[in-house]
Amino acid sequence: MSARMKIPAEGFVYSRAGRGSELRCERVPLTEIAARIGTPTFVYSKRAIEERVRRLRRLIPDCAIYFAAKACGNIHVLRLLGKAGCGADIVSGGELFRAGLAGISPKKIVFSGVGKTQGEILEALKAGIHLFNVESLGELLTIERIAYREGIKTKAALRINPNIHPKTHPHISTGLRGNKFGLSRGELEEVYRVIPRLRRVRVCGLSCHIGSQITSAEPLEQAWRKLLEETARAPFDATHLDLGGGLGISYAGEKTLSLERYASLIRRVFRGKNFALGIEPGRAILGPTAILLTSAVSVKKRGAGPRGASASSGRSFLVVDAAMNDLARPALYGAVHPIFAVERAARAHQKRFDVVGPVCESADAFESGALLAEPSPGSLFAISNCGAYAMSMSSQYNARPRAAEVLVEGARYRVIRERETYADLVERELL
């Protein structure tokens, strides 16, 4: 099957429309959303989100799921995930705030991250979160000091750095010795010596997170086995094990671990072991549940030029109204998010297009050589797999208001974040 025959995300289908077909999210035609809300707009399928959580929970019922809020922080999405049974993995006071607004119980929140400030630690202590995933001796002592001052008790898990290559993009690899994350062997020994003196922090577990968009089992298995080895060495009762996030998804047909294989790996590695297990998935839950809806702005034909063939000879640029400020992943990691035409005529002649955004950088490109029917201004496209690390990484670069977000449920949809306005661009500037 060619990429064009597939769908751009779960919960999306092509259905017959006139002599061709059109893309819908659940039962809502994307043409309708574009007409009413405009573009660019992120469109999420509620059913797809709920199904992915349900699948994962059914596969590993005894494992707590802390959704990595950095992947998508919209409070409606977080609320949905909370209702489906997820807690949250947060890395900032802002994410704690969002999770709180979404009604996620603090008892289901773990606080990760390499640079928790004293202010953030205080906020988390006051909120009564489940535990801190501690990154350094200094951080542990700071938590103890603030907790002592405030008369609050809390729990901590020590994040180990297992020095394992996750076989992913170097920017999102976090479990190698040279990365800033986790405690090395030597640092762990130092922490172990201090634990008996702690009065307010109960160190009760270990955690690890070696990277993101991991597509094979071996690095995960190796990291988890190192966690297990460490529990045997640790001079405290390690009852909690946090296995991190990192499970990859298939963006453009590449092989990855299914939720099923991932879950069976967890079951195999931890079978018969009596730990309270948790995972921190972000992408694997939300990545495949949304698209970025965008319109064609113009087509720039690039002729062969006087000297004949060049790399781009005969190619055309399709300029769309979404850009790297809406979806930074292609520019940052060379990520591929294939583009799908929303309306497809039967037997249309297709050509290759380099799909680009309007931002003034050549890195603002979505797909090279996409096979599409000749678009005209206003033709609609869906940029695939935009549920995770898309809106949450967006910016206002080039003074572009952030896109709207829409959640579809069956035949209904609602705006869960309005499109920003020009006034939003300057809201905090003192005029």
Contact status: 136 vs ligand LLP (CB under 6 A): no
SS3 for 93? Answer: helix
283 binding ligand LLP? (CB under 6 A): yes
Q: Say whether residue 41 binds ligand LLP (CB under 6 A).
A: no
- By beta-carbon proximity to ligand LLP, the closer residue of 181 and 353 is 181
CB of 13 to ligand LLP, least distance (A): 26
Give 383's strand partners. Answer: 292, 339
Question: Closest approach of Cβ 154 to ligand LLP, in Å?
Answer: 18
User: Angle of helix 93-101 relative to helix 75-83, nearest 10 degrees?
Assistant: 60
> Which one of residues 41, 74, 212, 384 is an interface residue with ligand LLP (CB under 6 A)?
212
Candidate list 77, 96, 102, 284; residue touching ligand LLP; CB under 6 A: 284
Pair type for strands 316-320 and 109-111: unpaired
Instruction: Enter the tokens of residue 414.
Output: 């609602």
Measure the CA–CA gap between 19 and 27, rounded to whole angstroms: 19
Q: In the complex, what is the shortest distance from the CB of residue 373 to ligand LLP, in angstroms, rounded to a whole number?
A: 30
Using CB under 6 A as the binding criterion, the count of chain residues that bind ligand LLP stands at 22
Q: Does 68 bind ligand LLP (CB under 6 A)?
A: yes
> 403, 326 in Cβ contact below 8 A?
yes
Reply yes or no: is the peptide bond before residue 40 cis, omega within 30 of 0: yes
Q: Which is nearer to ligand LLP, 299 or 365 (CB)?
A: 365
At 75, phi and psi to the nearest 5?
-65, -30
Q: Is 244 a residue that touches ligand LLP (CB under 6 A)?
A: yes
Q: Which two tokens stand for residue 291?
A: 């698209």
- Pick 236 or 333: Cβ nearer ligand LLP: 333
Task: Confirm or reject binding of residue 135 to ligand LLP (CB under 6 A).
Answer: no
Pairing of strands 64-68, 276-279: parallel
What x-and-dash track marks residues 98-117 binding ligand LLP by CB under 6 A? --------------x-----
Q: Does residue number 213 form part of the binding site for ligand LLP (CB under 6 A)?
A: yes
Extended strands (E) in 112-178: 131-134, 154-159
Which member of 17, 141, 152, 172 binds ligand LLP (CB under 6 A)?
A: 172
CB 290 within 8 A of CB 299: no
Q: Which residues contact 1 (CB under 8 A, 6 or more apart)?
A: none
**Tokens coding 410:** 């069956």
Q: State which residue, 93 or 246, has the beta carbon closest to ligand LLP.
A: 246
Looking at 25, 63, 204, 360, which residue is catalytic? 360
Q: How many CA atoms lie within 13 A of 403 on its CB side?
A: 29
Q: Does residue number 282 form part of the binding site for ligand LLP (CB under 6 A)? A: yes
- Residue 93 near residue 120 (C-beta atoms within 8 A): yes
In the bound state with ligand LLP, the residue whose beta carbon lies nearer, of 71 and 296, is 71
The closest of 204, 275, 201, 287 to 245, measured between CA atoms, is: 287
Give the nearest distance from C-beta 268 to ligand LLP in angstroms.
20
Strand, coil or helix: 206 = strand
Residue closer to ligand LLP by CB (options 41, 394) is 394
- Any idea which residue has 């929303």 for tokens? 342
Q: Does 375 bind ligand LLP (CB under 6 A)?
A: no
Q: Is 130 in the site for ligand LLP (CB under 6 A)?
A: no
In the residue annotation, 86 being an active-site residue is answered as no
CB-wise, 226 or 329, nearer to ligand LLP? 329
Contact 104, 83 (CB under 8 A): no
Span from 44-52, 94-102, 244-252, 309-317 in contact with ligand LLP (CB under 6 A): 244-252
Q: Determine the Cα–Cα distance for residues 246 and 187; give it in Å rounded to an integer.
A: 24
DSSP annotation of 391 reads: G
Q: Which of 219, 245, 278, 375 is the binder for ligand LLP (CB under 6 A)?
A: 245
89 scored as a contact of ligand LLP (CB under 6 A): yes
* Binding region for ligand LLP (CB under 6 A): 68, 71, 89, 112, 172, 209, 212-213, 244-247, 280-284, 329, 333, 388-389, 393
List the catalytic residues.
360
